[in-house]
Amino acid sequence: LDAVTMRRVAQDLGVTPMTLYTHVPGKADLLDLMLDTVYQDMPRTPYPPDATWRDRVTAVADANRALYQRHPWVARLPTTRPPLGPGVLAKYEHELRALDGLGLDDLEMDAALAHLLAFVHGTARAALDQRTTERESALSDQEWWDTHGPARFPLASRVGLAAGTAHQHAHAPDHGYAFGLARVLDGLAALIDRDRDRRT
C-alpha cells in the first residue's frame, strides 16, 4: 500500500499527477476504488439449494479468505467504513443470503456477518504478519522458538511444544482458521437455536 501513491500511479499511466487528480481526488479515494473493484470481481455463484446454512456461511468465509490470499493488501485496509460502491454492496447482498431464512432478525444477520468477516480478517492479518516477520527476521518459526522458547514456564513450554510439533510452526494459519471458523459456526448455531426456541 505504501507504493500506491498518486504520483506513482500517474507515472505508470504516463500522465501527470494533476491529470490523475481530475479523476480521483486523492489516495484514500483511489484505495476505495481498488477495494470496490476486487469486491466486484469476487465470484458470487448461487448457493446450491441443498446447501446447509453451515455450508453457505463456510462458503462466505472461504471466499473472503481467498480474497485476502490473492490481494494481501486488502487485509491492511481499515474495515470500519468500506466504500459503498457497487462491489461492496453486491458482496454484502450475496453474503447476507447465506444467513437469510434462519430466523435471525435484520440486526442479528448484520452482526453475525460482521462477526464472521472480522474473524476471517483477523486470521488473514495474522497470516500476513507471520510471513512478514519470517521474511524480515530471516528466522523460521522453529528457529525463533528454539531461541526464545519459554523454558522457565512449564505449562507454556508443554503446550507450545505440542502445538509447534503438530503444526511445524509457532503459528499455524490454516489450523487457526479451521478451528476458529468451527467455533464461529457453533456460536451462530446457538443463536439460531435460541431464536427458534423463542419463536416456538
Q: pLDDT per residue over 136-156, tens digit each?
A: 777 766 676 667 666 677 787
Close Cβ partners of 155 (under 8 Å, ≥ 6 residues apart) = none
- The x, y and z cell numbers of residue 197, run together, are 426456541
Q: Answer yes or no: CATH 1.10.10.200 is held by domain 42-199.
A: no
Cα 144 from Cα 37, distance rounded (Å): 39
The arithmetic mean of pLDDT across residues 117-134, rounded, is 88
pLDDT of residue 135: 77
> 8-17, 152-161, 172-181 — which is least confidently predicted?
152-161
Mean of pLDDT values over 13-20 = 90
* Domain residue ranges of the chain, discontinuous segments joined by +: 42-199
- pLDDT 10s digits, 77-107: 876 667 789 999 999 999 999 999 999 999 9
Instruction: Give pLDDT, residue 174.
Output: 85
Taking the C-alpha atoms of residue 69 and residue 63, their distance in angstroms, rounded to an integer, is 10
The DSSP letter of residue 145 is H
Can you tell me the mean pLDDT for 28-39? Answer: 92
> What global pTM score does this model have?
0.82
